[in-house]
Amino acid sequence: MTAPILLAEPSLVVAPALLGATIAGRGVTVRITEVEAYMGDADPGSHAFRGLRTRNAHLFGPPGTLYAYRSYGIHTCLNVVSGAAGVPSGSLLRAGEVVDGVGVARARRGATVADRMLARGPGNLGQALGALLADDGSSLLDGSGPYVLTLDPGLEARLASASPDTVLQELRSERLADGSPRIASGPRTGIRGVAGGAGFPWRFRLTGDPTVSAYRRHPQALD
């Protein structure tokens, strides 16, 4: 199977374009509402900043690979790998709306969890989907892995007739009725030092979506 045109691009292009896409598997479908871009060797916040390691090997994989890692010893977080094979580029799925399989997701997350909280935050999103560390390296495209990523079909059509940078610019210039940008960006959460600050405003979310995670400043973050 040929990878979608979009996934040939680095995560700085892919991440905002993933908003509104769905990831489906293990009985749950999530519509993505918040992501972060990680750019590899030029990005001090990336797991690949210090080169190829056992943990991050699949970040260097072909576009459409799932990169799953253990966070704080507890959570399983998911990235969509994009760009050319050998170039580490990932988009961290930070939050989404459970649009199918709400009962399954709630059974995993807890009976008292509100709908909009089921996949709010990267650890919670992984748990709602039933993600395992063993899913690291599986395909998000051909059905051979536990999850399938479905992009906006109209987006692929636009990429066939315009450059990715042009389409990205158009996406990010869209405005809501009140004039605010449909796609908002800001600093990445949970990262210490400069890589989490204003120099890397690589967190993207759908403006006003109730499933977008709360911004938490790192306890030791430097401004």
Partner DNA sequence: CTTTCGATATTCT
Partner DNA sequence: GAATATCGAAAGC
Half-sphere exposure of 126 (CA within 13 A, CB side): 24
Closest distance to DNA from the beta carbon of 157 (Å)? 29
Secondary structure element (H or E) that encloses residue 98, with its range: strand 90-100
116-145 residues near DNA, rule: CB under 7 A: 117, 120-125
Structure tokens belonging to residue 122: 């990267």
Closest distance to DNA from the beta carbon of 95 (Å)? 8
Half-sphere exposure of 181 (CA within 13 A, CB side): 12
Closest distance to DNA from the beta carbon of 28 (Å)? 15
Structure tokens belonging to residue 79: 């990235």
Q: How far is CA 87 from the centre of its chain?
A: 17
Handedness of CA 109, 111, 113, 114 (dihedral sign): positive
Residue 54 lies near DNA (rule: CB under 7 A): yes
Q: Among 41, 53, 166, 208, which residue interacts with DNA (rule: CB under 7 A)?
A: 53
Residue 160 lies near DNA (rule: CB under 7 A): no
* One-letter identity of residue 2: T
Residue 146 lies near DNA (rule: CB under 7 A): no
Nearer to DNA, 71 or 158 (CB): 71
Residue 154 lies near DNA (rule: CB under 7 A): no
Nearest to 14 by CA among 132, 159, 197, 198: 159
Half-sphere exposure of 45 (CA within 13 A, CB side): 25
58-117 residues near DNA, rule: CB under 7 A: 59, 67, 69-75, 77, 79, 90, 92, 109, 113, 117
Residue 219 lies near DNA (rule: CB under 7 A): yes
Residue 211 lies near DNA (rule: CB under 7 A): no
Residues that bind DNA (CB under 7 A): 36, 38, 45-48, 50, 53-56, 59, 67, 69-75, 77, 79, 90, 92, 109, 113, 117, 120-125, 188-193, 213-214, 216-220
